[in-house]
Amino acid sequence: MSRASPFPFVREGGFGENFGVFCFPRVWDKTSFPAQNTSCTPPASCDIICQNVEWRAGRLRNLVSVEDITIERWDALYSRCCDMIANPGEYVDSCRGKVLASLFYEPSTRTNFSFQAAAMRLGAGTFGFSDSSTTSISKGESLADTIRVAASYADTVVIRSKVEGAARAASLYSPVPVINAGDGGHMHPTQTLADLTTIAQRRGRIENLRVGICGDLKYGRTAHSLIIALAAFPGITFRFISPRDLRMPDYSLDFLRTRGIEYEESTLLDESMPELDILYMTRIQEERFEDKDEFDRLHGTYVLTKNLLERASGDMLIMHPLPRDGEILPEVDSDNRAVYFDQVRNGMFIRMALLFDFLQLPRITPSPPESDKRAICRNPVCVTNKEPYLPPLNAADGGCGYCDK
Ligand code: CP
């Protein structure tokens, strides 16, 4: 693993580069965050300044994007995770008295349950919802207010939403850390941590891998997150296998292109099989389609069978974030290359490692950017189009700072 080349968005020289990633229309305020290392200075050209100073100082405050994780942070998390797997008894009281809020605006089995189980295994308590219609959201309560309320009772908030950029928006208003448990088709950083854990566990390293990602690459947030993470490791190349209508979005391909990461696109799974060290299957995301007929046309495009696997190498990892919807037949489950249930279990341990840090972080006074203007984004499922009070937030490339589009 390369230590000299952390995630591409965090250039050598520190975290200052990230000032360009999410900027806020406010004046630099060093007083908002205690115990900061201000060795990085904001770019002179930028009078709109990132407020995530603890993050910049090397301390992860929110996990909103995969881009919040550096190789160094990954190393630390994975190391803790391995220790938790080997010595779970040593952590049973490590977060006693702490509380996790799990706000699931969208259905989940693995992410919701694993976060709750992770908290319990650390001795923390949990509360939350998996059906927002049972809360005051159904009376029109805003995301910002819901977060402020949940964070009043909790030490960390986990949020899943069908709205892209919801976790970023939540982090602006939260006095406690916010973890993105999946925001629409955008990102799913903790699934990526589970994926990296499984690859590292099975391969002993994350480098020099030919990674095939197959299925719904347009809407598959786990795929979008995974390529950003894997691109930081040496010698990773990608083959994206999808129907033409579900290709990897241009902004993700641009991300790879600008970093010189090799990738190919294909519509064929069978011809790709012999070329791969990892095959990451994904579900066609029915819930993201506007046109049901379009989903019906594309559903079932790829089905991984025992027969197809005969073309693959003997140590190719078969991965899937789950749930599956027919794209891996049950007959594959007994193949020792199939690691998707390892991903499930590892997801709990790596979330324990994350919560172990996050639940202990001091509360802050959030200072959401003040602006007379409201954020505007052309992406109809961006949080800015659902929560009209949100301030403008720009990404370094000029895209939307909430949803990256
Ligand atoms: N992998 C994943 O996010 O699964 P859930 O939707 O069940 O949480």
Q: How far is the CA of 344 from the centre of ligand 1 (A)?
A: 9
Identify the pLDDT of residue 347.
98
* Confidence tier at 394 by pLDDT (50, 70, 90): confident
Q: How far is the CA of 38 from the centre of ligand 1 (A)?
A: 38
Identify the pLDDT of residue 396.
76
Identify the pLDDT of residue 25.
23
pLDDT tens digits, 98-151: 999 999 999 999 999 999 999 999 999 999 999 999 999 999 999 999 999 999
Identify the pLDDT of residue 177.
98
Task: Say if ligand 1 is within 6 A of residue 322 CB.
Answer: yes
Domains 15-184+348-385 and 203-337 share a fold: yes
Arithmetic mean of pLDDT, 16-35:
25
Q: What is the DSSP string of 110-159?
A: HHHHHHHHHHHHTT-EEEEES-GGGSGGGGT--HHHHHHHHHHH-SEEEE
pLDDT tens digits, 203-228: 999 999 999 999 999 999 999 999 99
pLDDT exceeds 90 at position 38: no
DSSP secondary structure code for residue 213 in this structure = E
Arithmetic mean of pLDDT, 363-374:
91
Q: How far apart are CA 155 and CA 153, in angstroms?
A: 7
pLDDT exceeds 90 at position 3: no
Q: How far is the CA of 189 from the centre of ligand 1 (A)?
A: 12
* CA nearest to 157, candidates 182, 175, 141, 142: 175
| 199-203, 341-345, 390-394: the lowest-pLDDT one | 390-394
Q: How far is the CA of 106 from the centre of ligand 1 (A)?
A: 10
Identify the pLDDT of residue 46.
29
Task: Say if ligand 1 is within 6 A of residue 192 CB.
Answer: no
Between 12 and 184, where is the model more confident? 184
pLDDT tens digits, 140-187: 999 999 999 999 999 999 999 999 999 999 999 999 999 999 999 999
Task: Return the residue whose CA atom lies nearest to atom 4 of ligand 1.
Answer: 110
Q: Which atom of ligand 1 is nearest to the CA of 194?
A: 1
pLDDT exceeds 60 at position 13: no
Q: Are 317 and 277 in contact, with CB atoms under 8 Å apart? A: yes
Task: Identify the CATH assignment for 15-184+348-385 out of 3.30.70.1450, 3.40.50.300, 3.80.30.20, 3.40.50.1370.
Answer: 3.40.50.1370
pLDDT tens digits, 44-95: 322 222 334 344 445 689 999 999 999 999 999 999 999 999 999 999 999 9
Q: How far is the CA of 258 from the centre of ligand 1 (A)?
A: 30
CATH superfamily, domain 203-337, is: Aspartate/ornithine carbamoyltransferase (3.40.50.1370)
| 48-52, 295-299, 349-353: the lowest-pLDDT one | 48-52
The pair of structure tokens assigned to 130 is 């998996």
Task: Say if ligand 1 is within 6 A of residue 110 CB.
Answer: yes
Task: Return the residue whose CA atom lies nearest to atom 3 of ligand 1.
Answer: 111
**What b/e readout covers 344-355, taking b as 16+ CB neighbours within 10 angstroms?**
bebbbbbbbbbb
Q: Are 53 and 28 in contact, with CB atoms under 8 Å apart? A: no
Mean pLDDT (the chain) is: 87
Q: How far apart are CA 258 and CA 25, in angstroms?
A: 27
Q: How far is the CA of 24 from the centre of ligand 1 (A)?
A: 31
Task: Say if ligand 1 is within 6 A of residue 307 CB.
Answer: no
Identify the pLDDT of residue 60.
82
Task: Say if ligand 1 is within 6 A of residue 321 CB.
Answer: yes
Identify the pLDDT of residue 58.
58
Identify the pLDDT of residue 183.
97
pLDDT tens digits, 278-291: 999 999 999 999 99
Query: Among 20-29, 111-120, 366-375, which range has the highest average pLDDT?
Result: 111-120
* pTM of the predicted protein model: 0.86
* CA nearest to 375, candidates 364, 365, 386, 361: 386
Termini Cα distance of the chain? 30
Q: How far is the CA of 230 from the centre of ligand 1 (A)?
A: 20
- Would you kindly state where each structural domain of the chain is located, as residue ranges? 15-184+348-385, 203-337
| 20-29, 136-145, 243-252, 379-388: the lowest-pLDDT one | 20-29
pLDDT exceeds 90 at position 340: yes
